[in-house]
Amino acid sequence: MINTSKFELWNHLKYDLRIQKSDILFVFSGLRDFGIFEKGPAGILEVLQDVLDDGVLIVPTFSYSWANRQAFDRSASNAPLMGAVANLTIGREGFQRTDHPNFSVNVLTKHSDVLNSIMPTSRDAFGDGSVFLNLYLRYPNSKILLLGGVFPDSAYRSTFIHTAQQIEKVWYRYIKTFQDPLLESNDATQLVRYLSATEFKSINGFLPESGLEFPLIENYNQYSQELTKLGLLTRSKFGYGYSRMVSVGESIDCFRAGVKRNSSYGLLKYA
């Protein structure tokens, strides 16, 4: 197995991906492509913090708590399902974790004005007032980085796709309300897939077209290909794989354009 170092990762982020110290960077990270990395997940986080010394680092700390009818605790370090690097940020000095019970994120920045403009103002996961839409509307040049082999099933996919889907009101997802299992806080909402024809009918009042199989499965290969063809997706070799990066604005705009051409864009049956 190969060994990779903090210095090599620093050079990769600074010179291969050209990330600037003042950038806003949303990082989905994995460990599979790093091999044996110097200081492990802690070393990766240290490099990210160093590279973005004057910028904004955002990591997903999704817990899916209310979706699983479990209480949500922002301080619980063992709750997130987004990997070891994300886990290390919980409770770490300087990080501010949002309170969506299914799709929280953790934000690190020195700039309170930027932090306040990013932080959510609603209980919706991906739409109005969410971190994802705030970044799209206010900081479209912010970047999404897939690091260390995360999401290997596609050249590119990320949670920001759901913001594009919600803006365009795609027919194959709907906004679902989630209630606090402890009944201690307000409801939260989230754009979700239809899991059955019965669920589809209960929301829409009519059955879906014949031959449509549930649960509905999405496929992002065409979307990835279009990002690549348009020159919007950066790929750079590191370790065993490739880092992939795209701007928030261009990633969402590309998916929205696909939906405008084909209302079933992103759905496996029509891929």
User: What pLDDT, in 10s, does the model give residues 169-228?
Assistant: 999 999 999 999 998 889 999 999 999 999 999 999 998 887 788 999 999 999 999 999
CA distances from 140 to 62, 177, 268 (A): 22, 28, 28
Spatial separation of the C-alpha atoms in residues 121 and 148, rounded to whole Å: 31
Query: ∠ at Cα 204 (200, 209), nearest 5°?
Result: 60
Predicted pLDDT at 119 = 97
Residues 172 and 13: their CA atoms lie apart, in Å, by 37
pLDDT at 255 over 80: yes
Q: Please, how many CA atoms are within 13 Å of residue 83, restricted to the half-sphere of its CB?
A: 21
Give dist(CA 153, CA 150) in Å, integer.
Answer: 9
Give the tens place of pLDDT for each residue, 54-87.
999 999 999 999 999 999 988 875 555 678 999 9
- Cβ contact 222:271 at 8 Å: yes
Kindly state the percentage of the chain with pLDDT values over 90: 87
Number of C-alpha atoms within 13 angstroms, CB side, residue 17?
A: 32
C-alpha closest to that of 44 among 22, 54, 29: 29
